[in-house]
Amino acid sequence: MLDIKGLHKHYGKVIALDEVDLQVHKGETVVIMGPSGCGKSTLIRCVNRLTEPDGGAIYFNGQNVLGLNSVELQGLRRNMGFVFQQFNLIARLTILENVMFHLVLGGMDRDEAIVLAKEALAKVGLESTWERRPHELSGGQQQRVGIARALVTNPELMLWDEPTASLDPILVGEVLEVMEDLVKNTGTTMVIVTHEVSFALRVAQRVVFMDQGRIVEEGSPQKVLENPQSEIAQLYKKLLAS
Partner 1 sequence: MLSFFRDGFYQDLLILLIVTIIVGAVFSQGIAWAIDTYFGDTLDGMIGEYGEYDLVLHIRDEAKEAALRELERIGDQSFPGYKLNQTLTIAGQANFFFGLPAEFRTKEVLESITSYFGAVPGLNGYTLMVEPSVLIRGVHPSVRQELREQLEDLPGVKFTVRDGANLVIVLDSEDSVPQVTKQVQSLLKQYQILELRFPMGFEVDTQLVGDQALAILANQLGAKNRYENVTSAEYGEDLDAFLKTLVEMRDFLTSYASKVLITPDPQVRLAVGERILFAEPSDSKEEIIVEVTGVFGELIEGMIVQGQPVQSTDKLVQSGYRYLGDGSLGEYVGEVTIENERYRLAYAIDESLRLLEELEELAVQASEAVANGEAVLTTFQEALMQLEVLQVQMHQLNEGIAQGDSKASGEQFLVSLLLNGLFQTLAQAAIKTGEGSLDSLQNLDIEEMRQSLLGISEQIANVQAIDVAAIIQQIGFVRDTLPDLRDEEIGQSIRLINTYLGGQVIPGERIQILVRGSHLDEKELETLFRSELDNPYLHTYSTSVGMVNPDARGEIFRILKEVRSIVAGMLSIIFTLVVLVLDHATIFSTLKFLRSCEKPIKRRFLRIFDPLFLLGGVVGSIILTSVYYLSRAQIPLVTLPVVLLLGFGLGVLVVVFAERFSPVHSMEVMAGQSLGLSNVQIMREVVIPPSRPGLMNLLNRWKQQF
63-82 residues in contact with partner 1 (CB under 8 A) are: 70-71, 74-78, 80, 82
Among 158, 14, 142, CA closest to 78: 158
145-174 residues in contact with partner 1 (CB under 8 A) are: 149, 153
237 touches partner 1 (CB under 8 A)? no
136 touches partner 1 (CB under 8 A)? no
**Which residue in the set 1, 15, 68, 93 belongs to the binding site for partner 1 (CB under 8 A)?**
93
Strand partners, 9: 17
Q: How far apart are CA 104 and CA 29, in angstroms?
A: 30
Q: Select 160 or 236, whichever has its Cβ closest to partner 1.
A: 160
203 touches partner 1 (CB under 8 A)? no
Among 50, 20, 13, CA closest to 208: 20
Classified as helix, coil or strand, 223 is: helix
Q: How far apart are CA 43 and CA 26, in angstroms?
A: 18
Alpha helices in 165-230 (DSSP H): 169-186, 197-203, 221
**Region of 100-108, 137-145, 184-192, 219-227 interacting with partner 1 (CB under 8 A):** 100-108
Among 96, 75, 98, 76, CA closest to 88: 98
N-terminal to C-terminal alpha carbon distance within the chain: 37
Classified as helix, coil or strand, 218 is: strand
Q: How far apart are CA 242 and CA 196, in angstroms?
A: 14
Classified as helix, coil or strand, 187 is: coil
Least spacing, CB of residue 44 vs partner 1, in Å? 11
138 touches partner 1 (CB under 8 A)? no
Least spacing, CB of residue 12 vs partner 1, in Å? 8
Site string for partner 1, 29-58 (x = CB under 8 A): -------------------x-xxx-x----
Least spacing, CB of residue 160 vs partner 1, in Å? 12
Least spacing, CB of residue 10 vs partner 1, in Å? 9
**Region of 103-111, 137-145, 197-205, 231-239 interacting with partner 1 (CB under 8 A):** 103-111
Kindly report the backbone phi and psi dihedral angles of residue 47, in degrees, each rounded to the nearest multiple of 5, phi listed first.
Answer: -60, -45
Q: Select 77 or 206, whichever has its Cβ closest to partner 1.
A: 77
How distant is the alpha carbon of residue 182 from its chain centre? 13
Least spacing, CB of residue 158 vs partner 1, in Å? 11
Q: Select 85 or 230, whichever has its Cβ closest to partner 1.
A: 85
Given the rule CB under 8 A, which residues bind partner 1?
A: 48, 50-52, 54, 70-71, 74-78, 80, 82, 84, 86, 88-93, 97, 101-102, 104-106, 149, 153
